Amino acid sequence: MFRALENRKRTVFILTVISITLLFYTVKTAEAGNKVIIFHAGSLSVPFAEMEKRFEERYPDTDIIRKAGGSTKMARMISEQNQPADIMASADFAVIDKTLIPDKAAWNIRFATNQLVLCFTAQSQFAKDVTGENWFDMLKRKGVVWGHSDPNLDPCGYRSLMVMQLAEKYYKQPGLYDQMLANLPPENVKSKATELVALLKDGKMDYAWEYLSVAVQNDLKFVKFDDHINLGNYNFDEFYGQAKVTVTGKTAGTTIERIGKSCTYGLTLIKDSPNPSGALLFLQYVLDPDGGLTLLKSMGQPPFIPARVPNEHDYDMLPSELKKFVEVRQ
């Protein structure tokens, strides 16, 4: 009888262990499984495509669905059109603050930087002559075709205008900004910066404003600028603040004034995320110094390691799963 009791206890213990194991496996599968919908800046297309590939190899039951475009446009698709999304990753963290928080998101992690460059190809007019000291003269020349993305839809668009405004101040050439824009036809302003890459490669455009990471990822030639005007060094944020661009606001007939500051990318979890557990797993991968952040660095886009939020309140708002990847820092 004593032996039978011991056997029964052993059987109960084994069944309990099996049940816990199955429960753990089921929870992990549920966390990783199903679709994770990510809206992100066009400039993140290449690194996020690689992250998607590696994440799905790790979690084969997960299907990462990416939708790319100008950050402002993508955020408005969530806030105004109520399109389903799990994650938003913006080329300007301020887009999340102004468009998604507080109704659609609760926090905003700053995870990477960038800088503006002027891209061209070997076939571009004056390709052998353009430098960091004369690029603005090239943009003023009649017959030179150049463009930037729409500032109302894409942060790269209003940042392009800011660089040109700052160049006028840095090089002490009054009127330079207007002189350059006078040689820009409206049709050369595209809805997103990545459209410009195709035009450059097809020889239909001579110069285009892009992020450094996009230039590197697409093997484009580019002109780099002094830190005073490239929006790539937060130590110059006071100087950058002299640049101002007015763009359309959240609702028809309203406007927002964008003020120059260094390029800082932000990401967040959408409040009504269809798959929050899967989204959090992907966010952990993105913010992992040995995962997504390493990929960004290898593709010409300096990450913040660790990622950051500006104050303790924002840190307290983060999901517990993400806090180990984030520090409080301006």
Tens-digit pLDDT profile for residues 244-295 = 999 998 788 899 999 999 999 999 999 999 999 999 999 999 999 999 999 9
Cα 154 versus chain centre, distance: 11
| Contact assessment for residue 227 and residue 190, using Cβ atoms and an 8 Å cutoff | no
The CATH number of the structural domain formed by 33-113+264-328 is: 3.40.190.10
Does the domain made of 116-259 have the CATH classification 3.40.190.10?
yes
Structure confidence at residue 8 (pLDDT): 53
pTM above 0.85, yes or no: no
73 pLDDT above the threshold of 60? yes
Phi then psi for 240, rounded to 5 degrees?
-60, -30
pLDDT digits (tens, 9 = 90+) for 128-151: 999 999 999 999 999 999 999 999
Residue 57 has pLDDT above 50, yes or no: yes
- What lies within 8 Å, CB to CB, of 79 at 6+ separation is 99, 100, 103, 104, 250
Per DSSP, helices labelled H in the chain are 2-32, 45-58, 71-79, 93-99, 135-140, 155-170, 176-181, 193-201, 212-217, 237-240, 276-287, 292-298, 312-317
CA distance 194 to 44: 10
Lowest average pLDDT, out of 2-11, 22-31, 161-170, goes to 22-31
**pLDDT above 60 for 24:** no
Domain boundaries, the chain: 33-113+264-328, 116-259
Does the pLDDT of residue 1 top 80, yes or no? no
The whole-chain average pLDDT of the chain stands at 91
- Strands (E) in 242-325, as ranges, are 244-248, 255-259, 264-269, 303-309
Which letter, b or e, does each residue of 272-290 get, where b requires 16 or more Cβ atoms within 10 Å of its Cβ? ebebbbbbbbbbbbbbbee
> CB neighbours (10 Å) of residue 167?
22
Give pLDDT, residue 278: 97
